Amino acid sequence: MSLAADTPGFLSPTGVEITFVLVGLVTFGAALVTVTTRQLVHAALWLVVALGGLAVEYLLLTAEFIAWVQVLIYVGSVVVLLLFGLMLTRAPIGRSPDADSGNRWAALAVAVASAGTLIWVVVDAFRTTWIDLDGPAAGSTKATGQSLFQNWVLPFEGLSVLLLAALVGAIVLSRKAKETDPAAGPDPAAPHSGEQGEKETR
Amino acid sequence: MNDVLDVTLRLLIVFVVFLTFPLLVGQTEHKVMAHMQGRLGPMYAGGFHGWAQLVADGVKFAQKEDIVPAGADRRIFQLAPAVALLPYLLVLLAIPVGPGEGAVGQVVDAGIFFVLAVMGVGVLGSLMAGWASANKFSLLGGLRTAAQLLAYELPMLLTAASVAMAAGTVSLPGILDAFEWWWLPWQIVGAIVFFVAGLAELQRPPFDMPVADSEIIFGAYTEYTGLRFALFLLAEYAGIVVLCGLTTVLFLGGWHGPWDDDGLGWVWTLLKTAVLAFIVIWLRVTYPRLREDQLQKLSWTLLVPLSLAQIALTGVVKVVIR
């Protein structure tokens, strides 16, 4: 028992490790279905399964805070936004064969390349890192916050600036759309003025 | 063996609460609404003031035929009620009712994030129902649900973050341990914003635009019958219990009371939750439904700035008293 604890290996997996692999397989399967299914809304819902599976993996790695933030932002907001966009534009029940892109082989190549890079980097960086599941949680909110704001402040701030730029960009884009169509005021229930505005700009 | 027994007992208690409290709120709603409108409400079922009305309703729902529309996406249509209901059961696990670790289903380290994240998942149920019904009214309801969630999730998160800043922790029992009575006036704006945004997330009147029965025929639930429809209703009332419990824990001091916190802690929690649930019902009877654009405007121009101001206030006070 003590020997196994000293040099952890892959030959005698613990329950948590087996669960980790199983959840990983489910997540991978859900991700595959997400990109291969021919039903648009089903793709969004399989994405929920994939993202939720990732959250469970975080939980198994004791990173509780990251897991809940994952659910909150990705499942709770990003997927809802995705579904909202689908429903607003087109979300037919049943298959939509015209939704297949001609770029799928290029997309596959990019996906495989980036997945390969990520796997290589992660495996190379954490090959000898083992999480002690019995000790204090290594990924508790306190530990995460401390490492984030002590060791990783610069990337954190960089990301903040990136997000701010995206926010400003979104505002600029939506403002421009308004200027080209001056007759369409803030009242969305006035389609006539919008049509007139279009004619005038033409 | 003792651990297993302990866990089983906790899960069982949470499950019983999950099954009974929403019904209690529902029955109270029947009676309170009736009396506010000069009626008596249900009087016959069960004998004493119609206490068994909701049991009778449940029997009625169970007898109804379970219909899936021909054009619907069968599997998602059938799955949606479970997705809408189960998150609230999970959230109940994390809400502490009394002091100490014995009075909470499961101590979650990042409790605030857990409850808000899981509550957000429940809305997916309405979206799935709205889309899978193959009904234009349902789709409209689903769209409104999504728009409403996106608008009101933000103020909820911001005000919850304000409390977390004040307490210096994101765990729900931890927040209650740090609570002082003067947090009440300090966080009052945040409390109101949180409660209003929570009402909107539950789609309760006056924010029931997505289900507006007189306009889009109950929105996402138009095509549902029998038990599945009952599950959606149960989700709404479980949502009320969860929202009131959360507001109590985050802003009203949970088990802290005027006297005897240790012995009577759970009574204070239940009492505050019940008063909030009464307010939820009261609002339903008093306020007319907001229009979709008014609803969005309320969130983006009033609630979000107010919650940002609350965060600023919390930060300033926190720095001053340190």
A 10 A CB-CB count for B241 gives 25
Residue A146 lies in a domain: no
Q: Is the pLDDT of residue B178 over 60?
A: yes
Asked if the structure places residue A31 within a domain, the reply is: yes
B249 touches chain A (CB under 8 A): no
> Which pLDDT does position A161 carry in this prediction?
94
Q: Both A97 and A164 in a single domain?
A: no
Is residue B97 within 8 A of residue B270, CB to CB? The reply is: yes
> What pLDDT score does A186 carry?
47
This complex has an ipTM of 0.80
pLDDT digits (tens, 9 = 90+) for A126-182: 877 777 777 666 777 788 888 888 888 999 899 999 999 998 998 888 886 555 554
Cα B55 to Cα B16: distance, rounded to the nearest angstrom: 15
Higher pLDDT, B312 or B173: B312
Average of pLDDT values for A66-86?
85
Residue of chain B whose Cα is closest to the Cα of A93: B73
User: Quick one: chain B helix, strand, coil %, rounded to 5?
Assistant: 75, 0, 25
Locate B158 and state its tokens.
């911001």
**Cα–Cα nearest to A181, from A167, A171, A168, A195:** A195
Chain A contact for B161 (CB, 8 A cutoff): no
- How many Cβ atoms from other residues are within 10 Å of residue B197's Cβ? 28
The whole domain housing A111 covers: 2-137
Least confident of A7-21, A137-151, B110-124, B177-191: A7-21
CA dihedral of residues B93, B96, B100, B105 (deg, nearest 10) = -10
Nearest residue to A77 (alpha-carbon basis) of B239, B301, B149: B149
CB of B114 less than 8 A from some CB of A: yes
Structure tokens at A106: 């290029």
Q: What is the pLDDT at residue A185? A: 45
The pLDDT value given to residue A160: 92
Planar angle of CA A157, A159, A165, nearest 5 degrees = 105
Backbone angles phi, psi at B106, to 5 degrees: -155, 125
Q: Could you give the angle at the alpha carbon of B205 between the alpha carbons of B151 and B93, nearest 5°?
A: 70
A37 domain residue, yes or no: yes
Distance between CA atoms of residues B276 and B143, nearest Å: 29
> Could you give the percent of chain B with pLDDT greater than 90?
4
pLDDT digits (tens, 9 = 90+) for B31-57: 888 888 888 878 887 778 878 888 888
Q: Is the pLDDT of residue A201 over 50?
A: no
Nearest to A28 by CA among A7, A9, A42, A49: A49
The CATH number given to whatever domain includes residue A45 is 1.20.120.1200
Q: Does A174 lie in the same domain as A90? A: no
A175 lies in the same domain as A96:
no
Look at residue A10 in the predicted model and tell me its pLDDT. Answer: 64
| Pair (A113, A50) in one structural domain | yes
Last residue of a domain, one of A137, A166, A182: A137
Write the Ramachandran bin of A8: left for phi over 0, alpha for psi from -120 to 50, otherwise beta. beta
Q: What is the DSSP letter of B297?
A: H
Q: For residue A6, what pLDDT is reported?
A: 53
Report d(CA B303, CA B311) in Å as an integer: 12
Residue A117 has pLDDT above 90, yes or no: yes
Residue A19 sits in the same domain as residue A87: yes
Residue A193: pLDDT above 70?
A: no
Q: Is B71 on the interface with A (CB under 8 A)?
A: yes
Q: Tell me how many helices (H) and strands (E) chain A has.
A: 9, 0
Instruction: Look at residue A142 and tell me if it is in a domain.
Output: no
Say what the pLDDT of residue A176 is: 66
- List the single range of A179-188, B152-161, B244-253 with lowest mean pLDDT: A179-188
Pick A87's closest partner by Cβ from B117, B139, B169.
Answer: B139
Q: What percent of chain B has pLDDT over 70?
A: 97
Q: State the Cα–Cα distance between residues B142 and B146, nearest whole angstrom.
A: 6
Task: Find, among B182, B180, B186, the residue nearest to B162 by Cα.
Answer: B186
A8 lies in some domain: yes
User: How much of chain A exceeds pLDDT 90, in percent?
Assistant: 17
Q: Per-residue pLDDT tens for B186-230?
A: 888 889 999 999 888 888 888 888 777 777 778 788 888 888 888
Residues A127 and A165 occupy one common structural domain: no
Q: Are residues A123 and A173 in the same domain?
A: no
For residue B181, how far is the Cα from the chain centroid? 24
Give the pTM.
Answer: 0.81
Work out the average pLDDT over A13-42.
Answer: 85
Residue A145 belongs to some domain of the structure: no
Residue B303 phi, psi dihedral angles, 5° rounding: -70, -45
Q: Does residue A58 sit in the same domain as residue A32?
A: yes
Measured N-to-C along each axis, helices B136-167 and B111-132 cross at an angle, to the nearest 10 degrees, of 180
Within this chain, do residues A85 and A167 fall inside the same structural domain, yes or no? no
pLDDT interval class at A184 (50, 70, 90): very low
What is the model's pLDDT at position A109? 92
Encoded amino acid at B124, one letter:
L
SS3 B290: coil
Q: Is the CB of B82 inside 8 Å of chain A's CB atoms?
A: no
pLDDT exceeds 70 at position B131:
yes
Identity of the amino acid at B156: M
B317 touches chain A (CB under 8 A): no
User: In the predicted model, is pLDDT for residue A3 greater than 50?
Assistant: no
Q: Per-residue confidence at A7, pLDDT binned at 50, 70, 90?
A: low
* Amino acid A110: pLDDT: 93
- Contact between B201 and A76 under an 8 Å Cβ cutoff? The reply is no
A74 falls within a domain: yes
pLDDT of residue B103: 65
Same domain for A133 and A173, yes or no, is no
Q: Count of domains in chain A?
A: 2
Regarding whether A86 and A186 lie in a shared domain, the answer is: no
Radius of gyration for the alpha carbons in chain A, expressed in angstroms and rounded: 23
> Do A9 and A104 lie in a common domain?
yes
- Give the whole-angstrom CA distance, residue B302 versus residue B319: 26
Question: Does residue B88 carry a pLDDT above 50?
Answer: yes
Q: CA A100, CA A96: separation in Å to the nearest integer?
A: 8
* Residue spans of beta strands (DSSP E) within chain A: none
pLDDT at A9: 63
CB contact set of B307 (below 8 Å; sequence gap of 6+): B154, B155, B158, B159, B162, B189, B190, B193
Find all residues with CB under 8 Å of B88, minimum gap 6, and list them. B18, B119, B122, B235, B238, B239, B241, B242
End-to-end CA distance of chain A: 80
Q: Which residue of B has its CA nearest to A44?
A: B128
A76 neighbourhood in chain B, CB within 8 Å: 116-117, 120-121, 123, 149, 153
Q: Are B273 and B123 in contact (CB under 8 A)?
A: no
Residue A188 scores a pLDDT above 50: no
CB–CB of B109 and A137 under 8 A?
yes
